[in-house]
Chain A
Amino acid sequence: MIFVQSTCVPLPIENVDTDQIIPARFLKATSREGFGQNLFRDWRYLPAVSGAATTPNPDFVLNNSLYSGQILVAGKNFGCGSSREHAAWALGDHGFKVVISSFFADIFKDNALNNNLLPLKVEEHFLQQLFEHIFADPNTLVTIDLENQQVQIEKSGLATTFDITPYKKTCLLKGYDDIDYLLSKSADTLQFERKQYKYYQAYA
């Protein structure tokens, strides 16, 4: 079953931290919506001259009409730094369904999965091949089969597999979330609390 088939947006930068994905000054909203407009804000727009409207940075890939799609392809250690889930919200709000990299920071990976954004880890060698294909032909289609955990660069036929836990795969395919599962375990939690409750009585 195809999860996503799309062209890709290449971002061959390593250690993209969540401050770049969405700077702190845009975290003031109290809802989950609308963060996409500030995705990669300080790379995407030229430095603001006071009083002037924001000008897109023509050198940044999101402003390059050659590249579009639901798949962001980025350098290793994507999503490092701050735990802000707003980074995953901003990527999703912009229209990305998958981020492919050779390495993801732990917290970002969890946040992405909790928002139906697939962090897809591939070998560095495959990542570099993927970049080459995208730069050679921006219309390169990439197909992601979540059921079979396979990612394929169409035309070239190059493909590789990726890891995801069976639990998270089911969540993504069926739209479940962790709270439903955790709530279903509340009897276990209660039992744990009765057995293990060491301190809280003292000052609850």
Chain B
Amino acid sequence: MNTLFDKVWDAHVVSGEPGFPTVFYIDRHFIHEVTSPQAFDGLRKRGLPVRCPQQTVATADHNVPTLNQHLPISEELSRLQVEALHRNCADFGVELYGLGHARQGIVHVIGPELGLTQPGMTIVCGDSHTSTHGAFGAVAFGIGTSQVEQVLATQCLLQTKPKTMKIAVNGTLGKGVSAKDIILYIISQISAAGGTGYFVEYGGSAIQSLSMEARMTICNMSIEMGARGGLIAPDDTTFEYMKGRPYAPKGVAWDQAVAYWRTLVSDDGAVFDAIRSYQAEDIEPMITYGTNPGMGMGITQHIPSQAVEAGPADMEKALNYMGLQPHQTLLGKKIDYVFIGSCTNARIEDLRVVAQFVKGRRKAPEVNVWIVPGSKQVEVQARAEGLFEVFAEAGFELRQAGCSACLGMNEDKVPAGKYCVSTSNRNFEGRQGPGSRTFLASPLTAAAAAVTGTICDVREMI
């Protein structure tokens, strides 16, 4: 009787000896421009090749402009970093979906859409949101640059097996409540550190009823409660999403793969180290008020004087930074920016939800709204479906694919002191630019904020 996590993990243990961590095999390695250059330099210094270039795929996303991507990158350091990625991929024989390529995009958006992400795989990337790929029943987690070098050189990592946590969400989601609200709710209950040391399996009827895009939103933010990763058992929804994608198995190989993938479920009676259960009916649209993702609440609630696992000093520092007070409601709070994008919420389904809401509406005049598709393919599809016309008519600023204002590494920054309702994953101090103040929310809540210029309860508008 094994958990899904045990099954995938145990199938990738290469060897182990007493007193040493396990040698753990990696099936798929995604790389990007920011956390890989030092790893490739390490290979050069040691005179090593990339062991499995065919299991390695690169893209440029963190540090790319989201306007005029056909032009050379104007910011010199960013240009040099992207050029280094091109050089490294060429030198070491790694497939690169770089800037301008039809398959370029945020690494955690393109992996699934190309069929590179598959159930039962072990997947790593030098990015903490690698947990996204767990939505397919893969064991996927973020690593540092030294580990990127280890995987490039050996296709393995040294690992100690994490503990397992089951998080069940049962019931039916209310109107206007989405996957983003589920995960923000869970993190607000568990805290930004409560999942540390664990690998989470999400289950229950509310999770099983979600689309793949929505499941990715859930797994994406596993790291925001400190968990190493999160995963969901693959099912027909998974296989339907995957079938026919460029890297998905074809023909007989597909049938064999699906037969194997169907075994990737936690057995009845499998034991988890921790179990949490929630009811979907208890979840309303969520909003964060503080400076870590655990500081979140239902949109109609008032800012508490103390969050789970946050001391009074921590809370005071956070609210001071945000310019907010305990016991305050956020409804009606004026905002300056709306960012719809990131590996959490920039897939085609997210853009459709936003377009459906804003159709026939316009953004509030004083609010800047950036809409940044997660990939080139999402952008092309959104155009084909007429979504971009809806956004343009609503006064939204349309950008090109990249991580953008999620982490404020390129030019897309929220100015100091300004409030941004963001569909991204982190509300840390300065995350969206020095001094920026972030409210994390779902695409629908962000769209409603764009239209009203305030934080509002989207349920009253649909």
Contact = CB atoms under 8 A, between A and B. Distances in A.
A77 interface: yes
Interface stretch (B154-162, B171-179, B375-383): B154-162
Interface in B43-67: 46, 48, 52, 54-55, 62-63
Interface in B173-205: 192-193, 196-197
B409 A48 contact: no
A42 B408 CA distance: 13
A17 B144 contact: no
Nearest to B25: A192
Interface string B418-452: 00000000101111001100000000000000000
B296 interface: no
A83 to B, nearest CB: 4
Contacts of A15: 192-193, 292, 310, 314
B127 A83 contact: yes
B15 A188 contact: yes
A103 B80 contact: no
A183 B158 CA distance: 11
B25 A183 contact: no
Nearest to B151: A182
A30 B146 contact: no
A80 B142 contact: no
Given A167-B21, A188-B15, A17 B35 contact: no
Interface in A1-46: 12-15, 17, 19-20, 23-25, 27-32, 42
Contact of A19 (B34, B157, B426): B426
Interface residue range, chain B: 35 or more
A88 interface: yes
A148 interface: no
B257 interface: yes
A47 B416 contact: yes
Contact of B193 (A13, A19, A80): A80
Contacts of B409: 24-25, 27-28
Contact of A30 (B20, B80, B118): B80
A25 B19 CA distance: 40
Contacts of A47: 416, 434-435
Nearest to B21: A167
Contact of B310 (A14, A20, A110): A14
A166 interface: yes
Contact of A83 (B128, B153, B260): B128
B249 interface: yes
Given A80-B193, A114-B146, A202 B23 contact: no
A81 B427 CA distance: 10
Contacts of A14: 310-311, 313-314
Given A20-B429, A106-B226, A182 B158 contact: yes
Interface of A: 12-15, 17, 19-20, 23-25, 27-32, 42, 47-48, 75-77, 80-86, 88, 103, 105-107, 110-111, 114-115, 165-167, 177-179, 181-183, 185-186, 188-189, 192-193, 196, 198-200, 202-204
Interface of B: 11-12, 14-15, 19-21, 23, 25, 27, 34-35, 37-38, 41-42, 46, 48, 52, 54-55, 62-63, 77-78, 80-81, 84, 118, 126-128, 142-147, 149-150, 153-158, 160, 162, 192-193, 196-197, 223, 226, 228, 247, 249-250, 253, 257, 260, 292, 310-311, 313-314, 317, 407-409, 416, 426, 428-431, 434-435
Given A80-B192, A178-B158, A200-B54, 15 more contacts: A15-B193, A17-B292, A24-B407, A27-B409, A42-B430, A83-B127, A85-B38, A106-B162, A106-B196, A106-B228, A107-B128, A110-B147, A166-B19, A182-B23, A198-B260
